[in-house]
Structure 1
Amino acid sequence: MPRLRTRLAGVTAALAALPLAVAPPAAAAATPDYTITVNPAAQGATIDDAMYGVFFEDINWAADGGLYAELVRNRSFEFQAADNRTYTGLTAWTPVAAASGAGTATTVGDAERLNERNRTYLQLGLTNPAGGAYGVTNAGYNSGFALRKGDTYDFSIWARTDAAAGTKLAVSLHLADGTQLATPIRINVKNNTWTRYAGRLRATTTSDAGRLSVLAEGTGTVRLDEVSLFPKTYKNRPNGLRVDLAEKIAALRPGFVRFPGGCLVNTGSHYAYDEASNFPRARSYQWKDTVGPVETRATNANFWGYNQTYGLGYFEYFQFSEDIGAAPLPVVPAMVTGCGQNRATNDPALLQRHIQDTLDLIEFANGPVTSTWGKLRAQMGHPKPFGLTMVGVGNEENLPEEYWAAFTQFHAAIKAKYPNITVISNSGPDDTGVTFDNLWAKNKAFGTEMVDEHYYNSPSWFLKNNARYDAYDRTGPEVFLGEYASQDAKFFNSLSEAAYMTGLERNADVVKMASYAPLLANIDNVQWRPDMIWFDNDESWGSTSYQMQKLFMNNVGDRVIPSKATGGSILQPQPITGRVGLSTWATAARYDDLQVTGTDGTVLFSDDFSDGNADGWSTLSNRGTWAVQDGAYVQTDAAATNTMVAAATNITATDYDITLKATKTAGAEGFLIPFGIKDSNSWYWWNLGGWNNTQGAVEKATGSADAKEQLLTRPDTVVTGQTYNLKIEVRGTKVTLIRDGEVWGGFDDNQVPEPFAHVVTRDNRAGEVIVKVVNAQDSAALTRIDLGGLKVARTARMTVLAGDPGEQNTRSAEPIQPVTSTVNGIGSTFTREFPANSVTFLRIKTTR
């Protein structure tokens, strides 16, 4: 082939004649900000299937008008002024007439009532002319009844009439102006015996402002009770749950459901009935009130300021838990109140009755159909046992000795009859402090199986405490983190919670279960923030923390793979500096002789108010009534909360003493002494006689006055009229608190936030390694990941939550949503850049 060779030679000569082109050197690889090193050969903690769950409490109108699908508010006319001073038996109802109808509508509580547990019913005295009708209209919850065109709604009512020929009821759904939203139905009440009547209405129009009217024709007396309207329910359960809310909870794939509270459990009277009236009223939550036919269940005043119908009761809780594949975890009252009430029963017989109620509860859940309570469960539609395995006794009790005396009796009785039931104790309402330490010591010595911890703290606290459980005793009780949340609803709060959750998973051998709280909030009726899922009468939306919880709960894994992270800048703790202040909470008080001195005796600030004015002091809250009186600075509004005022002088010294005199003159609590004030949202304060004059604490606000963390707590009381000499010694980050010459407490605020956190778990069933990385800072984090020689696929499924840390998900927009994609370049060692303010889950398939 001589011709081909000649051509190749020519090409070679031509190339040789060209200028030499040298390839540029490869760009140097960027230095990673962090390195995550995984040790797949080491044995990490096993993660229980029930690691993450949900906590339901009827707070924020979460049950009636929320998860419980009933559309009629005050369906049994049980609202009473004794429960809430704004209530009457006709709350949510309005008397109405049609076609010149006439009559009277009154709520009555006499011997003619439907049953003993229903205190009142509606009595209509009819004086209608021919063709007229008279009755009542119900406005429902929020803006009214939410109806969707084409859907059917199940109506029922209990009624009786003294009219010999019976009484016809016209039932309709309409707008406030009378525009019909469904084809009306007619019901013929036949006699003077309480009878349940039912019908079905089909919506002809979609609306969120519907009304339900029940109008009676003719004359005579008609009695009505248990007026009910149900939409389609979750899994079509009778007396069931609102579909969209139940589906959002189910989508979390929770391992357990803790119910029914919360403060709801251990507040109110311990007695079953109000002795004066023999009616159930304002008592602690008792499960037996909530089972059986709904018309026989009691209603009760809710601790959170509204009524509960108990239509959503223990049977429904158990059924819902089963429907979503979660373990039920009921909490029973320990006969010691909490949540600011702080009382304990001294009636042994009453305590034993409640212990027996708990044994009966276990029988209701697990007993055979031949047992008393198992038979009731079967009659309610569930012959098969629910498989209850654990019970919580008490909730956030602030009286540790009284609680412990009761708990041990509950524990002994339960274990004697049901030895396989896990009996869960608790450690009080805080993450630290005297009560916390006391109860943990008791639980360890006793050998309690599991202890319930609760805390709500600032984002900074969560970022500082990722290692909280690293040092917990591995041979002591396991931890159930039954309630926790960062105190706001912004994405940064969710990022801080996510960073903390990596620590929960890393310590899954100690922290066996955890649940964010609260779960639900009605947008128009809120008692607590933050909350996971928000709703009105026809819409619901998940907060940024809902999206974060869902990401973790759907990507748990079976076992932790030990790993460590290195890199990043090391922050240093900052000394406590800033202005000093004064404040009160639902209390009137007088303050005098305030002085700040350096450790060398130099006076940095002083005001004895002897000149009759408070020049240089300014309000940070615009609350309260402050004035100089008789040579002291006095706050006289005993109802105002957080009345903080601050001195103008900024204390820049790092070591100093604050001294002052304080006297409570009236009100519910004690003193608040702010220091280290940066602005109205960043400060410390010494809280004496807080929580209705039962507890003391040091609280720290970081970026929000509503997002406080407690640095220490202890029981504390302030006596009205007594003058206290108070001293706060600040030494850098260390603070000692002295009252009347005796050390009251102290702390060292030397922890710093850790914005980068991670955990690695293995999902054996999926054959995947899950790398979870939280980057809670405003810059991206280039990270080298070394999987320790694991053979893995070259691609991975990546889910990211990212966005503005100040963003929120609301009814109008839900900007924080997960984004899932497939990424390349995965190997035993690889590098990824994790976005600023993000959480990233990488699911990587292992190949051996």
Structure 2
Amino acid sequence: MRANRRKSARATCALLTGLLCVVSAAAPASAATDYSIDIDPSATGPRISDQMYGIFMEDINHAADGGLYAELVQNRSFEYSTADNENYTSMTAWEEISTGKANVQAEVVNDDGRLNERNRNYLRVVLPADGGEYGVANSGYSTGITVTEGEEYDFSVWAKSPGRAAPLTVRLHDAQGDPLAEPLALEVQGDWARYTGTLTATGSSTTGRLSVTGSGGGVLGLDMVSLFPRETFKGRENGLRTDIAEKIAALDPGFVRFPGGCLVNTGSHEAYEAPDWPRERSFQWKDTVGPVEERATNHNFWGYNQSYGLGYYEYFQFADDLGAMPLPVVPALVTGCGENRATDDPELLRRHIQDTLDLIEFANGPADSEWGGVRAEMGHPEPFGLTHVQVGNEENLPEEFFERFLRFRDAIEAEYPDITVVGNSGPASGGSVFERAWELNREHGVAMVDEHYYNSPAWFLANNERYDSYDREGPDVYLGEFASQGNQFSNALAEAAYMTGLERNADVVKMVSYAPLLAAEWNTQWTPDMIWFDNSTSWGSANYEVQRLFSTNTGDRVVPSTASGTPGVGGPITGAVGLSTWNTSAEYDDVRVTSADGEALLTDDFSSGADQWTHITGAGNWTVENGAYVQTETSGENTMVTAGDPGWTDYDLEVTATKREGAEGFLVGFGVQGTGDYYWWNLGGWNNTQSAVERASGGAKSLIVSDGTTVEAGRAYDIRVEVRDRDVTLYLDGEEWGGFTAPEPEPFRQVVTRDEQTGEFIVKVVNAQGEAARTSIDLGSAQVEPTAELTVLQADPAAENTATDRPVSPETSTVDGVDSTFTHTFPAHSVTFMRITPER
């Protein structure tokens, strides 16, 4: 299958344009700096997994409801609640309308007349017999429902009129009331039944409204008011928004991980029990299959309501339509995402383990099995071919997680020995949780470990070799969530540079997915994101363009190669010193900075005030009290003050710090260049659960080293930081706490792979600096055609794709003069994919 996917990828690539650009913190090389890339075509590098690049779909940023899920009606079943969002009511997105003399008598009720137990609310409308029409109108998401002239829209509603027949009129109109389609007339009579019809748009609008009105007296019940575009991805009923799904399909994903993320392991793990079910529940797959009108809605961790219209069946179907491997994630009953607790109810654990076994049967079981029958009844009698299941997501309690993970794995392997059970290593690229989780993964022979991290562009440029030292006999790595904290081209360049290292280590790194995948421009809880959308259009970010080019130009095997480095990269850690707090009041005293040869650079006991210090963030309140420098407020997430020379290097910083009150400890800065560029030793961070050194670059922070040190209020701590070139050693109360060597950002990165179907060498080069890179390329003994296909992404580092402007787009061309040894100049701020064909 992969060979066919690569063939289609070539066809897709021919339509693309471009070279990707990355910004580096390193000093720029001189104009057209000389580099070299030496390729050994006779050597055998690691094989690249068919699932190397995939997608992670989580309902964050309205990715599902209001986004990929094509439903146009918001709050279609009147289930919104303040439990979802403090601003919600059961009538959110609805307004009462009438053309008669009486006031509309419409209310959301929850009584024995409901549609079903899981869909408990419905709208009750009293219809006066005065010849008027009474009902409600829905405004959809954001500015309104997007309607396109000539397109068809499928309407459906569950309705009842027990006393008498009620004429029902359905209209599409804009915000001013002007019609966008001919009205649809239906007649409702008796108990609950589903009524359907089609509206054909006679006009276009991005502020559309759907109104449903009745007349003639009596009482009308309405629930599950729905409007779908007839055109959905692959024509699926209850389907997906075409433009967004097609952008995902263009990534040629090898797998689809779903449904989260924080949705999986946060909130209650209890089962749904009407009428008083937990509104804040983890995503549990059995709630999300079967008829949509029978699925419960749920509070979404990210602050809104999720309808579960896009449920497990639809996710499996989407993966099937993409030709991708499905990777469902189930809760391990240990919470994450800031909710650090473990569930100790043994019966609840047994139930979730059985639910996971039932999920595998739902995906793979025959149509005459219990859960395979549910799948078949929903429209897919053939199995989905599930091979991997992930248990848990970003748990911060590795011991508790592994105790439960092993129970899941044992049960799955006993019944389904061919299923790979995927674990994880917590929410960061390093630190005590990460290290302990990896120890447990290795100890218990976990087949694949999911890593997550969001770091600065500088971190990605400096950590290309991260997986070079991983154990080749240990667990495989799935990099399930990563991004460089921004959607500018500079971010995409840093990610591209890092991805060359992922491919080079394809014998360890088997799967990769950028995250988050989707974001509604009108309601975003997390950035950066790969694909953005509003109600009428969608667009790929600069990061998307990088991910698409890597995914469609992967190759089958790495060809060993080496490249020269950039002159002048690195240099010593340079900067002033700083003091800060995070939601904490603390005091500092006896600050001393001494050069490596013993010269006093700064001495301050604050007996004469604090004139040597500059408050650079504005947060917090600094004052001198009793000969100490005190930040008095217990709020403010970075209150930094600095002193000294930004040109300082090779020095010792000493200070005495005391926490007064608040959530955390104290922050001691070094190498401070400004408000967004510094190192700091964060003692008692993360609500006083651990300590770490972090590097901030351009405002984005990355963790370098950490442990479980916490801070006691009222106790004075002696802190010492020794900076030598790029080496840092840290002491707490005279004892060495830890140390590190700051990695050096490298703006020139490359990897070479081979497409076994075409025989082509795919040379991938990232030049993340402001100067062109003139490069000699040596293909060794390979004889090649003189012309190669070149796809380049190149843009200003600050460029960012928007709804109306796409400055970051690839360009494809051909280049002549290719030989076993030749020279090519890679533009500044660019990513290049060069396909070189062997001589025929």
Question: What's the counterpart of residue 692 of structure 2?
Answer: 697
Of 666, 670, 673, 1:678 maps to 673
Answer whether contact 1:593 1:609 (CA < 8 A) is retained: yes
Task: Show the 5 A alignment for 1:49-198.
Answer: 49-126=50-127, 128-162=128-162, 164-191=163-190, 193-198=191-196
Question: What's the counterpart of residue 10 of structure 2?
Answer: none
How far apart are the structure 1 equivalents of 2:490 and 2:207?
A: 35
Task: Show the 5 A alignment for 1:532-681.
Answer: 532-566=530-564, 568-584=566-582, 587-598=583-594, 604-609=601-606, 614-628=610-624, 632-635=628-631, 637-647=633-643, 652-666=648-662, 668-681=663-676
Question: What's the counterpart of residue 807 of structure 1?
Answer: 799
How many angstroms does 1:91 deviate by?
1.0
Structure 2 counterpart of 1:748, one-letter code? T
Question: What's the counterpart of residue 466 of structure 2?
Answer: 468
Question: What's the counterpart of residue 447 of structure 1?
Answer: 445
Task: Show the 5 A alignment for 1:103-502.
Answer: 103-126=104-127, 128-162=128-162, 164-191=163-190, 193-231=191-229, 232-273=231-272, 278-502=276-500
Answer whether contact 2:164 2:218 (CA < 8 A) is retained: no
Q: Which moved more, 1:111-120 or 1:195-204?
A: 111-120
Change (3 A) 1:843 1:374: same
Change (3 A) 1:843 1:649: closer
Alpha-carbon displacement from aligned partner over 1:175-195 (angstroms, at most 9, x marks no partner): 22111111111221111x111
Structure 1 counterpart of 2:258, one-letter code? F
Change (3 A) 1:726 1:116: farther
- Structure 1 residue 520 corresponds to structure 2 residue 518: yes
Of 755, 759, 763, 1:763 maps to 755
Question: What's the counterpart of residue 27 of structure 1?
Answer: none
How far apart are the structure 2 equivalents of 1:132 and 1:71?
A: 27
- Percent of residue pairs identical: 57
Question: What's the counterpart of residue 14 of structure 2?
Answer: none
RMSD between superposed Cα atoms in Å: 2.1
How many angstroms does 1:771 deviate by?
1.1
Of 795, 818, 835, 2:827 maps to 835
How far apart are the structure 2 equivalents of 1:322 and 1:419?
A: 23
Aligned residues: 807
How far apart are the structure 2 equivalents of 1:336 and 1:330?
A: 17
How many angstroms does 1:327 deviate by?
0.5
Unaligned runs of 5+ in 1: 1-29
Q: Which moved more, 1:318-327 or 1:176-185?
A: 176-185
How many angstroms does 1:390 deviate by?
0.3
Q: Which moved more, 1:194-203 or 1:587-596?
A: 587-596
Question: What's the counterpart of residue 839 of structure 2?
Answer: 847
User: TM-score, with normalisation over the residues of structure 2?
Assistant: 0.92
Answer whether contact 1:577 1:654 (CA < 8 A) is retained: no
Answer whether contact 1:521 1:535 (CA < 8 A) is retained: yes
User: Secondary structure of the residue that 2:264 maps to in structure 1?
Assistant: coil
Structure 2 counterpart of 1:684, one-letter code? Y
Alpha-carbon displacement from aligned partner over 1:285-325 (angstroms, at most 9, x marks no partner): 11111111111111111111111111111001000001011
How many angstroms does 1:544 deviate by?
0.6
How many angstroms does 1:647 deviate by?
3.8
How many angstroms does 1:278 deviate by?
2.7
Structure 1 counterpart of 2:225, one-letter code? V
Q: Which moved more, 1:469-478 or 1:165-174?
A: 165-174
Which one scores higher on RCO, CA 8 angstroms, separation ≥ 6?
Answer: 2
Structure 2 counterpart of 1:40, one-letter code? P
Structure 2 counterpart of 1:798, one-letter code? L
Change (3 A) 1:262 1:715: farther
How many angstroms does 1:697 deviate by?
2.3
Unaligned runs of 5+ in 2: 1-30
Larger radius of gyration: 1
How far apart are the structure 2 equivalents of 1:654 and 1:405?
A: 46
Answer whether contact 1:782 1:834 (CA < 8 A) is retained: yes
How far apart are the structure 2 equivalents of 1:808 and 1:225?
A: 42
Answer whether contact 1:664 1:718 (CA < 8 A) is retained: no
User: Secondary structure of the residue that 2:467 maps to in structure 1?
Assistant: coil
User: Secondary structure of the residue that 2:786 maps to in structure 1?
Assistant: strand
Question: What's the counterpart of residue 8 of structure 1?
Answer: none
How far apart are the structure 2 equivalents of 1:380 and 1:689?
A: 52
User: TM-score, with normalisation over the residues of structure 1?
Assistant: 0.92
Answer whether contact 1:547 1:817 (CA < 8 A) is retained: yes
Q: Which moved more, 1:572-581 or 1:280-289?
A: 572-581
How far apart are the structure 2 equivalents of 1:139 and 1:605?
A: 62
How many angstroms does 1:117 deviate by?
1.1
How many angstroms does 1:633 deviate by?
4.5
Alpha-carbon displacement from aligned partner over 1:479-505 (angstroms, at most 9, x marks no partner): 111111111111111111111111111
Alpha-carbon displacement from aligned partner over 1:701-755 (angstroms, at most 9, x marks no partner): 11x22x1111123345445x44341513223233344445554443332x21111
User: Secondary structure of the residue that 1:469 maps to in structure 2?
Assistant: helix
Q: Which moved more, 1:248-257 or 1:773-782?
A: 773-782
User: Secondary structure of the residue that 2:221 maps to in structure 1?
Assistant: strand
How far apart are the structure 2 equivalents of 1:419 and 1:301?
A: 35
Question: What's the counterpart of residue 796 of structure 1?
Answer: 788
User: Secondary structure of the residue that 1:194 maps to in structure 2?
Assistant: strand
Structure 2 counterpart of 1:671, one-letter code? F
How far apart are the structure 1 equivalents of 2:273 and 2:592?
A: 54
